[in-house]
Amino acid sequence: MNKKWAIKRITINLASVESEKLERYCAMTGRPATDVIRQLIRSLSITELSASEQTTPTLKYDVPILK
């Protein structure tokens, strides 16, 4: 299966605690950070506002907490 990906690189700044948590989760699951972050992004739900309320896009984050 040959998938073509439209790639956009992003850089995120994490606190050391957040970075350590991500590293531990990746080590526990054997998954790369890119896959974990991509899954978290895909799980986001977007709440749309009416045209009169909308000044900037609003996102509702339903992200599971990594423990």
> What's the pLDDT tens digit per position in 13-51?
999 999 999 999 999 999 999 999 999 999 988 887 666
Angle at CA 47, nearest 5°, toward 31 and 12? 40
pLDDT of residue 33: 96
pTM over 0.75: no
Sequence letter at residue 4: K
H-assigned helices in 1-67: 16-29, 33-42
Task: Answer with the residue of higher pLDDT: 4 or 12.
Answer: 12
The radius of gyration computed from the CA coordinates of the chain, to the nearest angstrom, equals 16
pLDDT of residue 40: 94
Q: Check residue 15 and give its pLDDT.
A: 96
